[in-house]
């Protein structure tokens, strides 16, 4: 089957942890909005890809105006975000046909490389779900709060050799993802992979990129700007 390529760009967050008057997806990175930088990676990696951008309802007109002012020419299907990330993805999936490969990517991960994106779409031609991950490199402690302090839980150990952090873009056959999102919302759903696995489908995992940073705080933005400058040298 020749599957068409779609990407759902998740940019419906309010950016409350970042502060400021604009959500983080609209802040500047290298002279462009973070969201524009993110979308451009997919346009480069997969020519002809169809882009579905999920936005806060109150910022849809803002984004349209930005694209016009910056001459950012990219046909997009704009979708209103939902109450949670789960509901936002479900809204976007209404615009995706069956028989496609759909990636779901955080709009605030602009440093993902075209090489990784292309690799994931290629793998998804034969695998129903592909998730990029990075191995845990920190020493992990299992702690509990006691009398206002954190203390180790006796006997509790975390083996970092089997722990990995999930990234985006996460790739799926669209019919699988649409079926999975027919499940009722559950607070344990932290990403699309968790929804699909709850639905009972197996997934494949591949090593991602450590610099595929999710911009959530001011420190993340500063780090992303520094990496961006280094990449241009």
CA angle (179, 181, 183) in 5-degree steps: 95
From 227, 222, 127, 111, select the one nearest 176 (Cα to Cα). 127
pLDDT category, 231, cuts 50, 70, 90?
confident
Bridge partners for 165 per DSSP: 134
In this structure, what token pair is assigned to residue 115? 């090489």
CATH of 5-133+164-232, one of 3.40.50.2000, 3.40.50.300, 3.40.50.2020, 3.90.550.10: 3.90.550.10
Q: Where are the domains of the chain?
A: 5-133+164-232
Rounded CA separation 136/117 (Å): 21
What band does 44 get if pLDDT is binned at 50, 70 and 90? very high
Residue 232 CA to residue 123 CA, distance in Å, equals 29
Percent of the chain at pLDDT above 70?
97
pLDDT at 16 over 90: no
**pLDDT at site 15:** 60
Taking 80 as the threshold, does the pLDDT of residue 77 lie above it? yes
**Residue 134: alpha-carbon gap to chain centroid:** 14
Considering 18-32, 60-74, 136-150, the range whose residues carry the highest mean pLDDT is 60-74
Q: What percent of the chain has pLDDT over 90?
A: 87
**pLDDT at res. 18:** 61
pLDDT digits (tens, 9 = 90+) for 143-198: 999 889 999 998 888 889 999 999 999 999 999 999 999 999 999 999 999 999 99
Would you call 53 helix, strand, or coil by DSSP? Answer: strand
- For residue 17, the model assigns a pLDDT of 61
Question: What pLDDT band is residue 2 in, cutting at 50, 70 and 90?
Answer: confident
- Mean pLDDT, the chain, whole residue set: 95
For the chain, give percent helix, strand, coil, nearest 5.
35, 25, 45
Decide: helix, strand or coil at residue 169.
Answer: coil
């Amino acid at each position: 089957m020749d599957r068409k390529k779609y990407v759902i760009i998740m940019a419906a967050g309010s950016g409350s942890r970042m502060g400021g008057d604009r959500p983080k997806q609209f802040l500047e990175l290298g002279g462009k909005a973070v969201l524009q930088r993110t979308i451009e990676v997919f346009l480069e990696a997969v020519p002809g890809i169809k882009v579905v951008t999920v936005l806060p309802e109150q910022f849809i007109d803002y984004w349209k105006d930005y694209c016009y002012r910056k001459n950012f020419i990219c046909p997009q299907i704009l979708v209103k975000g939902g109450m949670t990330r789960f509901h936002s993805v479900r809204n976007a999936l209404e615009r995706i046909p069956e028989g496609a490969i759909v990636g779901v990517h955080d709009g605030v991960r602009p440093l993902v490389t075209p090489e990784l994106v292309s690799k994931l779409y290629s793998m998804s031609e034969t695998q129903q779900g592909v998730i990029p991950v990075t191995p845990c490199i920190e020493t992990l402690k299992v702690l509990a709060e006691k009398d206002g302090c954190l203390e180790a839980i006796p006997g509790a150990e975390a083996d970092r050799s089997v722990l990995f952090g999930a990234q985006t873009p996460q790739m799926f056959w669209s019919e699988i993802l649409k079926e999975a999102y027919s499940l009722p919302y559950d607070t344990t759903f932290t990403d699309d992979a968790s929804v699909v696995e709850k639905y009972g489908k197996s997934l494949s995992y591949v090593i991602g990129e450590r610099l595929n940073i999710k911009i959530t705080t001011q420190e993340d933005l500063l780090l992303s700007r520094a990496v961006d400058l280094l990449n241009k040298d």
